[in-house]
Amino acid sequence: MVGQRQLIDKLRELARNLWWTWQPNAISLFRELDPALWRKLDHNPVEFLKQIDLEKLELRASELAIHSRIDYAFRRLAEYLKNTDSWGSVYASTLRSRPVAYFSAEFGLHESLPIYSGGLGVLAGDHLKSASDLGIPLVGVGLAYAQGYFRQSLDTNGWQQEHYLNADPEKLPIEQVLGPDDKPLMITIDTHSGVLHARVWRVEVGRTTLFLLDSFVPENSEWDRSLTARLYGGDARVRIRQELLLGVGGIRVLHALGISPSVLHLNEGHSAFAVLEMIRADMESNGVPFGEASRDVAAMTVFTTHTPVAAGHDRFPAALVEENLGKLREALHLSFDDFMGLGRVNIADPNELYCMTVLALKLSRHANGVSALHGRVSRRMWQPLYPTRSEEEVPIGHITNGVHVLTWVAPQMHLLYDRHLGTDWPKRQRFPEAWDGIRNIDDAELWETQQVLKARLIDFVRRRLVAQYQRRNESDATIDRVSQALDLNALTIGFARRFATYKRAGLVMRDVERLAAILEAVDRPVQFIFAGKAHPEDHLGKELIQNIVRMARQERFAHQLVFVEDYDMNVARQLVQGVDVWLNNPRRPQEASGTSGEKALLNGALNFSILDGWWAEAYDGTNGFAIGRGESHSVPSIQDERDHQALLDTLVNQVIPTYYNRDASGLPRGWITRQKNALRSLAWRFNADRMVMDYVQNSYLPAAGAQWCAMPKS
């Protein structure tokens, strides 16, 4: 038996590597030690182990006979870390000595590390996790936001309130990075408005390391010290200086640590300045001119664009660019005009803003969108950058986003897959055959598993609603009512995402009376769970939230329409694991990919979505539901009205009848058939292992100047 000291040491070591976040056994270890504390601390094991009483820990551990389970988890982590028998060791071994450097302004790894705002960050987190599982040599580079993104609550009028909490590094799974001299590593960037300093944190994500730059150091001016306080929080000057730190600072961190990447992967344009610093370093160490160095660096750079909306791309005025990058420009021996030209479509137009996407496209040889449709839209959008080429020849391909399966799949579904696909299914997840066994799952077993998951979700939602209403000092009667909201037997539809306008959160409510008629049909009950944050500056987004909340507060809808505050990875996980239907109704073609529907899919939910992003290539008529036929219209209000009609028509004519059409044993056979079709046709395609493998084959190896070899080495 392990003693108390060793017990806590082993738990602390488990807590320090985010590997535990995708291990159901490790998660339940922490939870079972003190479920209430675990929940209260946002599932943060570092803080949990600081707060939990050691005596109590020991007592609980013996009660639960948990020592052997801790030993087991600990051993599995050690084995995972040293395992060299991976896909990457066969197919990506040429990256071993010089890894891929993956840059992103946000990383969504777990709710307890709040350095993400939405899909872009979660995608980056999932990318790191799959790279780790597959054994791809890859390091992440990002920023350490002291306050992260805001926490959301709603006031009595349903108006969003933003709260910023300072995270204490002591309570996060991060460690300060030391330099070669064993002192805390500090990097500096000289600008026309002073030297910017940053320290660096390290996060272990399985076998992958993520470096986070942090400007909160005494060497900085007060203004620069708060530079990394908030994600997407400041004005253009904050933004460009954050991006300077991420891109230029990120490369300096890698070089200071002796890491010489063979590939730069820019996840969105925010980090595009990294390319400039790589060019500068190449010019300095190899004595080559800008032209040659920029060709070398472009050859090793992979750029992924995520935004099909022109306004969504970062653009900066020339003065801000010169203030922050002027020193670097001088080191690159470029004139002001030549340097500005790198960020302009029309290099001769002095009024054109400096666009990060343009910079990234000009200085990378490998560019992609994040779904087939988004690839097409991006080629059209950026065609002016390639005047001698037709739209089809624009060098932007696509790699469709996928999600990290073990992060998003419910433990109950995991067990179901273990039983029917073989326990090694996670390793084979990207192959269609791995999912053949879905066919053999007994209908009743799948259905019952879904019922269990839905019950768990309803529990979660009720608890959150009670807490929300208590916080607002609502009446006991109201709190009592919301503690009973939702019905286990009702068709449950989830909608949760950022409340960006193009995602049209309120679309289903455009015609309140028609929706009311659907909600009030007692024999076929339907209920909606909403969640999502609006950007603090986005007044329209906040109005959308308010509209939903006002409706949810009407007595007649209160039981069937709820809004869960403070959408984060935890809320997302609960929702995608427990709903019957995942609704997505963006204004096509503005949803570059969307990934929440992929998470829902893995848990047996059926997608009910506009044919946009990933769903445009996923839907085959039998594996979910489509809203419309993939039309769009130049007048948004017309498109919205048509999509609204199509949404309600499909809901009434297909979704609801399929769900409620039961056989003698009470099972909706047609529904279950669709669930199985979805899992068999889609799970192998829309996971992050497949995505990362595609990046290795189509982008990383070519960028590293290596060959893809289809036959593994013997």
Ligand X SMILES: *Cc1c(COP(=O)(O)O)cnc(C)c1O
CB of 246 to ligand X, least distance (A): 20
Site for ligand X in 461-500 (CB under 6 A): 497
CB within 8 Å of 454: residues ≥ 6 apart: 488, 492, 578, 579, 580
Q: What is the DSSP letter of 222?
A: H
The least CB distance from residue 250 to ligand X, in Å, is: 24
Torsion of the alpha carbons at 7, 10, 15 and 17, rounded to the nearest 10 = -170
Q: How many of the chain's residues bind ligand X (CB under 6 A)?
A: 13
Q: How far is CA 164 from the centre of its chain?
A: 20
- 432-452 as b/e, with b when 16 or more CB fall inside 10 Å? eebbebbeebebeebbebbee
Burial zone of 144 (CB within 10 Å; 0-12 exposed, 13-18 middle, 19+ buried): buried
Question: Which of 268, 568, 612, 694 contacts ligand X by CB under 6 A?
Answer: 568
For residue 460, the minimal CB distance to ligand X (Å) is 15
- Segment contacting ligand X by CB under 6 A, of 115-123, 279-287, 435-443, 556-564: 115-123
373 touches ligand X by CB under 6 A: no
- The C-alpha atoms of residue 614 and residue 551 are separated, in whole angstroms, by 30
Judged by CB under 6 A, the residue of 114, 119, 250, 604 near ligand X is 119
CA distances from 475 to 322, 468, 563 (A): 57, 12, 18
> Shortest gap between Cβ of 503 and ligand X (angstroms)?
6
Token code pair at residue 41: 């601390």
Query: In 3D, which of 548, 561, 484, 465 has the Cα closest to residue 519?
Result: 561
Is 314 among the residues that bind ligand X (CB under 6 A)?
Answer: no
Measured in residues, the chain has a length of: 714
**Among residues 564 and 701, whose Cβ is nearest to ligand X?**
564
Question: Among residues 233 and 594, whose Cβ is nearest to ligand X?
Answer: 594
Q: Which residues of 2-41 are buried (b: 16+ CB within 10 A; e: fewer)?
A: eeeeebbebbeebbbbbbbbbbeebbbbbbebbeebbeeb
Strand order in the sheet with 491-496: 561-564, 526-531, 491-496, 581-584, 606-610, 625-627
**Which span sits near ligand X by CB under 6 A: 116-124, 426-434, 478-486, 706-714?**
116-124
Shortest Cβ 595–ligand X spacing (Å): 5
- Shortest spacing between CB 568 and ligand X, in angstroms: 5
* Distance in angstroms (rounded) separating the CA atoms of residues 450 and 402: 23
Q: Which of 572, 627, 648, 672 binds ligand X (CB under 6 A)?
A: 572
Side-chain-facing half-sphere of 582: CA atoms under 13 Å = 28
Nearer to ligand X, 383 or 570 (CB): 570
**574 to 603: interface string for ligand X, x by CB under 6 A:** --------------------xxxx-x----
Between 435 and 582, name the residue whose CB sits nearer to ligand X. 582
Residue 595 or residue 699: which is nearer to ligand X going by CB? 595
Q: Minimal distance in Å, beta carbon 119 to ligand X?
A: 3
Establish if 402 lies at the interface with ligand X (CB under 6 A). Answer: no
Choose one: 48-56, 58-66, 543-551, 563-571; the region binding ligand X (CB under 6 A). 563-571
| SS3 at position 232 | coil
Tokens representing 648 are 């309600």
* Cis check: omega of the bond before 589, within 30 degrees of 0: yes
Q: Is 141 in the site for ligand X (CB under 6 A)?
A: no
Taking the complex as a whole, how short is the minimal distance between the CB of residue 596 and ligand X, in angstroms? 3
- Type of residue at 406: L
- Shortest approach of ligand X to residue 229 CB, angstroms? 21
Question: Which residues are CB-neighbours of 97 under 8 A, at least 6 positions away?
Answer: none
Residue 576 · residue 542 · CB < 8 Å: no
Least separation in angstroms between residue 197's CB and ligand X is: 32
**CB-hemisphere CA count at 13 Å for 187?**
24
Helices (H), 423-531: 425-428, 443-471, 476-482, 512-519
Q: Of the two residues 502 and 660, which places its CB atom closer to ligand X in the complex?
A: 502
Rank residues 80 and 502 by Cβ distance to ligand X and give the closer one. 502
Amino acid at 466: V
Q: How far is the CB of 122 from ligand X (least distance, A)?
A: 4
Q: Does 534 bind ligand X (CB under 6 A)?
A: no
Q: Quick check: 569 binds ligand X (CB under 6 A)?
A: yes
- When the beta carbons of 229 and 576 are compared against ligand X, the nearer one is 576
Judged by DSSP in three states, 384 sits in: helix
Give me the least distance between CB of 420 and ligand X, in Å please: 26
Residue placing its CB nearer to ligand X in the complex, 421 or 576: 576
CB of 112 to ligand X, least distance (A): 13
Interface with ligand X, residue 106, by CB under 6 A: no
531 lies in the site for ligand X, by CB under 6 A: no
Angle at 545 between CA 541 and CA 550, to 5 degrees: 145
* Among residues 14, 66, 92, 122, the one that binds ligand X under rule CB under 6 A: 122
Comparison of 362 and 374: residue with beta carbon closer to ligand X:
374
Phi, psi values for residue 396, rounded to 5°: -125, 115
Closest CB 575 distance from ligand X, rounded Å: 9
Cβ closest to ligand X, residue 274 vs residue 529: 529
Distance, in Å, from the CA atom of 413 to the CA atom of 23, rounded to the nearest integer, reads 13
What is the C-alpha separation between 568 and 496, in angstroms, rounded? Answer: 10
206 versus 597: smaller Cβ distance to ligand X: 597
599 or 644: CB nearest ligand X:
599
Report the nearest approach of ligand X to the CB of residue 531 (Å): 9
Residues that bind ligand X (CB under 6 A): 118-119, 122, 497, 567-569, 572, 594-597, 599
